């Protein structure tokens, strides 16, 4: 049944509407946005922060709503109310998996907030491969999906390289500037008018790695590695985790963040598990099995380019990550980040990153079960693992969060 507040994004809106994008994965989303811009869309990544964002979110949604939803609603409403944008020429977009988590209700929460503010005419686009909604002016076709897949791969590579270079760079900010230069270049190469050549993609992998290896850096003293796992928004978004990565770097650590493609593979693999356990859709199962193998191969090849020179570290093949999950948790546990969250803690610990921050929105049931709830089993499986769970909420004290992180770092191996 269609939501009564549903406003479609039409083809006529493409040429003169600005689409506001929530800031979850800055590098990935900037690259994706450049691809969409070559198709005629005008997009802006929202980068506003500060206490006014959760305050605005609480004003326009229920205070018992999960923290990422409060932030997304707050950031979007803050932008629309700022006077910077014409609400009659502005649309919002939200990325959705269609899973059982409350995140699948974000679209409705955003629309309720718009109605409350008297802006019910603003279209809210659901970007979902599950086909939750149809928007004539925003369709994810196979050519677009093909380009977006490489945007995710490039984004994961750049994110890993920035994380492994930034703590050691001699010239502050050079790693991030290098990433921004590549985002502009790669966005054009993946654009609508260009043919995606996989040989060129693999060549770009090597050149990207070489450009980061050339950044002047002092690696004479290795810094303690700190892995970041948890609910997808607070794990990746600087807004959601109070700029956790920069805080850890200031405290003398090197951050390790699992790639976004891993979450995409998690979603695909869940379809395979559904067939094996519940005998759902045989045809869909075959498609998802092929897609899983295809994406795993792409991930291995990107990872191979990352580690080729011996300077940068990669991650375990995703098939091994799946097996690691099976050692401590059922792969039928798939709400939110499900078994992937547990598997990431095991994979990080076994790769030498013993210090792990498990980020979770306060009251997020899937995270409390698969993250905080699995800390003891993971520590038994991986002796020496130093894991701390940090709750993020509109009423949480940032000072308290940072003090707990400092305590974890004091015990860092």
Domain of 80, CATH number, reads 3.40.50
The burial class, CB within 10 Å (0-12 / 13-18 / 19+), for 367 is: buried
Confidence at residue 98, expressed as pLDDT on a 0 to 100 scale = 63
How far apart, in whole angstroms, are the C-alpha atoms of residue 292 and residue 295?
5
User: Does 201 map to a domain?
Assistant: no
User: Does 287 map to a domain?
Assistant: no
User: Does 133 map to a domain?
Assistant: yes
User: Does 409 map to a domain?
Assistant: no
Range in 124-128, 175-179, 316-320 with the lowest mean pLDDT: 124-128
Per the model's pLDDT, the better-predicted residue between 104 and 392 turns out to be 392
- Average pLDDT value for residue range 233-254: 95
User: Does 147 map to a domain?
Assistant: no
How far apart, in whole angstroms, are the C-alpha atoms of residue 339 and residue 13?
40
With left for phi above 0 and alpha for psi between -120 and 50, is residue 176 left, alpha or beta?
Answer: alpha
Query: What's the mean per-residue pLDDT of the chain?
Result: 92
CA angle 351, 354, 355 (to 5 degrees): 135
CA proximity to 110, closest of 46, 51, 177, 188: 46
Question: 96 falls in which pLDDT band (50, 70, 90)?
Answer: confident
- Average pLDDT value for residue range 335-361: 94
At 25-48, the pLDDT tens digits run 999 999 999 999 999 999 999 999
- Average pLDDT value for residue range 213-224: 94
* Residue 84 in this model has a pLDDT that exceeds 80: yes
Q: How many domains does the chain have?
A: 1
* Residue 10 in this model has a pLDDT that exceeds 60: yes
* Residue 5 in this model has a pLDDT that exceeds 80: no
How far apart, in whole angstroms, are the C-alpha atoms of residue 219 and residue 198?
33
Domain that holds residue 22: 11-138
How far apart, in whole angstroms, are the C-alpha atoms of residue 313 and residue 60?
44
* Residue 126 in this model has a pLDDT that exceeds 90: no
Confidence at residue 1, expressed as pLDDT on a 0 to 100 scale = 45
- Average pLDDT value for residue range 320-343: 93
User: Does 27 map to a domain?
Assistant: yes
- Average pLDDT value for residue range 395-405: 91
User: Does 124 map to a domain?
Assistant: yes
Range in 104-108, 130-134, 150-154, 315-319 with the lowest mean pLDDT: 130-134
Range in 101-105, 125-129, 184-188, 212-216 with the lowest mean pLDDT: 101-105
Residue 168 CB contacts under 8 Å (≥ 6 apart), including other chains: 217, 218, 219, 223, 254
User: Does 114 map to a domain?
Assistant: yes
Confidence at residue 170, expressed as pLDDT on a 0 to 100 scale = 96
At 138-157, the pLDDT tens digits run 988 899 999 999 999 999 99
How far apart, in whole angstroms, are the C-alpha atoms of residue 24 and residue 26?
6
């Amino acid at each position: 049944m269609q939501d009564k507040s549903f406003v479609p994004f039409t083809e006529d809106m493409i040429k003169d509407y600005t689409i506001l994008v929530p800031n979850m994965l800055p590098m990935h989303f900037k690259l994706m946005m450049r691809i969409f811009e070559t198709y005629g869309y005008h997009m802006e990544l929202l980068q506003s922060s500060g206490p006014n964002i959760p305050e605005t979110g609480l004003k326009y949604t229920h205070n018992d709503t999960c923290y990422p939803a409060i932030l997304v609603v707050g950031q979007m409403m803050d932008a629309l109310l700022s006077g910077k944008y014409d609400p009659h020429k502005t649309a919002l977009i939200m990325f959705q998996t269609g899973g059982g988590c409350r995140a699948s209700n974000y679209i409705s929460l955003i629309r309720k907030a718009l109605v409350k503010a008297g802006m019910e005419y603003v279209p809210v686009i659901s970007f979902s491969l599950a086909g939750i909604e149809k928007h004539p002016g925003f369709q994810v076709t196979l050519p677009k999906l093909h380009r977006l897949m490489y945007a995710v791969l490039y984004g994961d590579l750049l994110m890993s390289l920035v994380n492994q270079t930034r703590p050691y760079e001699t010239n502050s900010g050079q790693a991030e500037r290098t990433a921004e230069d590549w985002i502009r270049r790669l966005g054009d190469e993946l654009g609508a008018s260009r043919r995606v050549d996989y040989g060129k993609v693999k060549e770009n992998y090597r050149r990207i790695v070489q450009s980061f290896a050339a950044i002047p850096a002092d690696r004479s003293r290795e810094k303690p590695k700190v892995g970041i796992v948890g609910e997808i928004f607070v794990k990746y978004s600087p807004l959601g985790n109070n700029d956790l990565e920069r805080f850890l770097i200031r405290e003398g650590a090197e951050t390790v963040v699992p790639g976004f493609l891993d979450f995409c593979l998690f979603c695909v693999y869940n379809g395979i598990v559904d067939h094996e356990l519940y005998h759902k859709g045989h045809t869909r199962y075959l498609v998802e099995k092929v897609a899983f193998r295809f994406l795993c191969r792409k991930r291995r090849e990107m990872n191979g380019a990352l580690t080729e020179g011996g300077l940068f570290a990669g991650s375990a093949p995703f098939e091994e990550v799946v097996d690691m999950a099976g050692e401590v948790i059922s792969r039928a546990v798939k709400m939110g980040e499900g078994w992937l969250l547990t598997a990431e803690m095991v994979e990080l610990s076994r790769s030498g990153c013993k210090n792990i921050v498990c980020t979770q929105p306060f009251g997020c049931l899937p995270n409390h079960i698969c993250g905080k709830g699995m800390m003891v089993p993971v520590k038994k499986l991986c002796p020496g693992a130093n894991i701390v769970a940090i709750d993020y909420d509109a009423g949480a004290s940032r000072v308290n969060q940072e003090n707990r992180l400092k305590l974890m770092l004091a015990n860092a191996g």
